[in-house]
Chains A and B, each alone.
Chain A
């Protein structure tokens, strides 16, 4: 039991001024992911079982490379936000929660960096 008001409890902790950023970015990336998913399927379906030369030839094109990089950025950002919500919902110990959020960030960043590097390497010439 405390007589302190809720306002007094949060005072001096500062406002993050980012209360809705997570929600908003989740929605923004989800909207971006709709055309990007269609683009990815459009690109990958004809490349199923294709030769190395064929795949490289396709990804080399600047517009395809741009599109693929957009896919990677938007997908990894979206999944980072989504997985963070899942972690925060189901992991209740603070230490483990922090550790998993760190791993989540690390995993999504690594996927993004590795994929973008591969796309650029193909596009600039293997």
Chain B
């Protein structure tokens, strides 16, 4: 079969009405990709701690700057959202939670909980410092 043959293709994503469950699926991939790169920050922070106080202070200044904090806030949310999405997938792997009502609840729940937990983590971080 020639790859160039112009056969009609089945309708793709754009023909569907965007749904929360579909968006959460895309967001799970997106947050995974964000975390894939965000781990550079964790590695950089560890390297700076191993390198000594001068370099550590240099890195810390960047991380605690306003843009640095915004990036870290985004990473925190991505981490928590991906973790909750992962729990959802583990539940589905057991064969449970597939009725539409439940799927919708899980999508809404994980979104709301991820925001709440992100705020909680940052509130604790600000509280203990």
Binding site for B on A (CB under 8 A): 27, 30-31, 33-34, 37, 41, 45-46, 48-49, 51-53, 55-56, 59, 68, 75-76, 79, 82-83, 86, 111, 114-115, 117-119, 121-122, 126
Contacts and interface: CB of A to CB of B under 8 A. Distances in A.
Contacts, number: 79
Nearest to A79: B36
A111 B45 CA distance: 12
A27 B87 CA distance: 10
B115 interface: no
Nearest to B83: A37
Interface size class of B (residues with CB under 8 A): 20 to 34
Secondary structure dominating the interface of B: helix
A23 B60 CA distance: 37
Nearest to B72: A48
B29 A45 contact: no
Contact of A114 (B43, B52, B89): B43
Given A33-B86, A118-B43, A52 B128 contact: no
B33 A83 contact: yes
B83 A33 contact: yes
Given A115-B47, A121-B50, 13 more contacts: A30-B90, A37-B79, A49-B129, A59-B49, A68-B46, A79-B35, A86-B32, A86-B33, A111-B39, A114-B46, A118-B46, A118-B47, A119-B46
A58 B90 CA distance: 33
A49 B64 contact: yes
B39 A76 contact: yes
**Residue with the highest number of chain A CB atoms closer than 10 Å, among B40, B43, B60, B129:** B43
A126 B53 CA distance: 10
A45 B124 contact: yes
Contact of A31 (B33, B35, B90): B90
B42 interface: yes
A77 to B, nearest CB: 12
**Residue with the highest number of chain A CB atoms closer than 10 Å, among B29, B32, B42, B60:** B42
B57 A52 contact: yes
A75 B39 contact: yes
Interface string B52-81: 110011001000100000000000000100
A56 B128 contact: no
